[in-house]
Amino acid sequence: MAVRRGSALKKLVGLVTRKGMPTPDVAVPMKYPEELKPARQATGFGLCRLLGISRDDYAARNAQMRRSYEFFGAPVASFVFVHRGLGMYAALDAGVFIQSLMLSAHAHGLGTCAQASLAVWAAPVRERFKVPAHYKLLVGVAIGFASVHPVNNYNPGRLPIEGLLLAPSGFNGSRRARLAERDQDAGAGEGVGHG
């Protein structure tokens, strides 16, 4: 993990916001998965509503996007690199790591924001740290003191627990169908017994 603060952080903000095309180390999904789009859009629209940004106000939308690359004003930006040889498991490790980092920061009275967007321009970040070639920038975490801005109370909602659980295979979803299936099984059993 690489951490920058103070004037070095300001320079980094300049580089990240002024350099041209994205230079990610890890491929950024260009096509958002269809099934995940509704939740993403609802979150985005809700955030824009809260910030008073209308859908067609591209200047305001871009300005808000830019805040991402200014680490939302946080005094510390951290960048997490993963070993390319570990494939998807590296992302698993990094996810657990940043979760612990964020929980620890919060326990110390700090606020954090995990930012995948900070991995989109990897080149300027790599310029500022001695990063071995086989380590790839995956995610950043801004760390600072949480402000009282209403955006920090934005709650886009969470999936209900059922939305996180997989149904057993062969189960068609409705409780009524499940009960009918059970009755049928019981009936079949009786049939065998009486037969």
Residues lying near ligand FMN in the complex (CB under 6 A) are found at 68, 113-117, 139
**Which one, 9 or 113, has the nearer CB to ligand FMN?**
113
Minimal CB distance residue for ligand FMN: 117
Give strand pairing partners of 23: 121
- Which one-letter DSSP state was computed for residue 75? S
- Which one-letter DSSP state was computed for residue 56? T
Nearest residue to 66 via CA among 8, 127, 13: 13
CB of 118 to ligand FMN, least distance (A): 7
The answer to whether the CB of 135 falls within 8 A of the CB of 84 is yes
**Which one, 43 or 184, has the nearer CB to ligand FMN?**
43
Alpha-carbon distance 6 to 43, whole Å? Answer: 32
Cα radius of gyration rounded to whole Å, the chain: 23
CB of 30 to ligand FMN, least distance (A): 15
The answer to whether the CB of 69 falls within 8 A of the CB of 17 is yes
CB of 104 to ligand FMN, least distance (A): 15
CB of 139 to ligand FMN, least distance (A): 5
**Which one, 78 or 115, has the nearer CB to ligand FMN?**
115
**Which one, 114 or 123, has the nearer CB to ligand FMN?**
114
